[in-house]
Amino acid sequence: FCTRHTDATVVYLHNMGSHKNEASNHAIRRASTAAALSEQCYKAISPNSKDRSALSPSSQNQNFSAYAFSAQNQSLSNSTAYTDASQNESWSNGTAATPQRQSLNNPRAACGLLAETYPFIHFSGNMWHARCDHISTLLPTDLFFDRLERVQETLESYVADSILTAGVAGRHGSSSYMVGKGRLAWDHWVGSTPNLTFSDVSGKFPAEKQWKNPHISSAKSVNKHFVYRTVPQQKFMEAPHLHHPFPDVEYLISSKLRHKDFLLLPGYMVKYAILYQSLPAPHHWIWDHYPDGDDWR
């Protein structure tokens, strides 16, 4: 769909956690769904600069319903095509997205509840609203999964040969979970390109455990807690406690120990080279977000 309609947008939703009848699962699913369908995310990816200029926290409509746009905007049925990300038969590989700075001067490529940059770039809950001109640059999912196998094999080989280290991951090591492979490849896919620009609505609650609180993510109030932000707002080293699983702090605070860690910039360069044969532009946010960017840029 997106390769034929690059000026459209798509929303990806799924029945997250439906196999576990737990209050926290219902809460994060409710919050993720509402965020992907929110006015804030619609405006974040809109090509209309007037939409994006209305995204400051003071001007947000916190009472906006997640399931219908206001009369001033196009309806979801007119502006958004719904497609399952697994339907990729007609998709073809494209080049990496044009580098864009993290500012409201440019529309975001994608927006969701909570953008995470550890252990790989993804949206918590894996529900999102994205521009088709971004989606069309992603690898078809079957090819993406195949290349992730090469990514893990290469990273494990480099760790075994002491070219890279795996200390920040702690006991998880270079497992499929930390690489973003297997079941988590679906979460990994939308944020896998080397020049991604993204945003979320977690300016008020920047940790997943907060959105798992049923009192915060209730059907009546979840939208009132959405605060738009371009992300990442903080450098990785400034808020390691927000990440899950928690990084090994001993390795993270030591520039010597972390310098060649596969979960940080060295690993991203290996991953991007294998997946897209491309690296982020010199001004991209990734070099400033992760430690030692000036050494690897």
Residue 244: the pLDDT is: 78
Q: What is d(CA 294, CA 242) in angstroms, rounded to the nearest whole number?
A: 24
**For residue 130, which phi and psi values (nearest 5 degrees)?**
-135, 155
The one-letter amino acid code at 92 reads: S
Residue 203 or 64, more confident: 203
For the chain, the average pLDDT equals: 82
pLDDT confidence tier of residue 18, bands split at 50, 70 and 90: low
Judge whether residue 82 has pLDDT over 80: no
- Predicted confidence at residue 55, as pLDDT, reads 58
pLDDT tens for each residue of 87-111? 332 222 333 333 333 444 568 999 9
Residue 266 pLDDT > 70: yes
pLDDT at 57: 45
| Three-state DSSP class for residue 116 | strand
Q: What's the rounded Cα separation, in Å, for the pair 211 and 255? A: 33
Beta bridge partners of 230: 199
Q: What is the mean pLDDT of residues 236-240?
A: 87
| Residue from 138, 118, 131, 102 nearest 228 by CA | 102
- For 162-219, what is each residue's pLDDT tens digit? 999 999 988 887 788 899 999 899 999 999 999 999 999 999 999 999 999 999 999 8
Higher pLDDT, 70 or 161: 161
Residue 19 has pLDDT above 60, yes or no: yes
Greatest mean pLDDT among 28-32, 69-73, 173-177: 28-32
Q: Which residue has the higher pLDDT, 273 or 246?
A: 273
Return the structure tokens found at 119. Answer: 């252990």
| Cα distance between residue 91 and residue 139, in whole Å | 8
Q: Nearest 10 degrees: CA dihedral of 287, 289, 293, 297?
A: 0
What residues contact 270, with CB distance under 8 A and at least 6 apart? 151, 154, 155, 158, 164, 262
Q: What is the pTM of this model?
A: 0.81
Supply the pLDDT for residue 231.
87
pLDDT tens, position by position, 106-135: 689 999 999 999 999 999 999 999 999 999
Say which range, 215-224, 236-245, 268-277, has the weakest mean pLDDT. Answer: 236-245
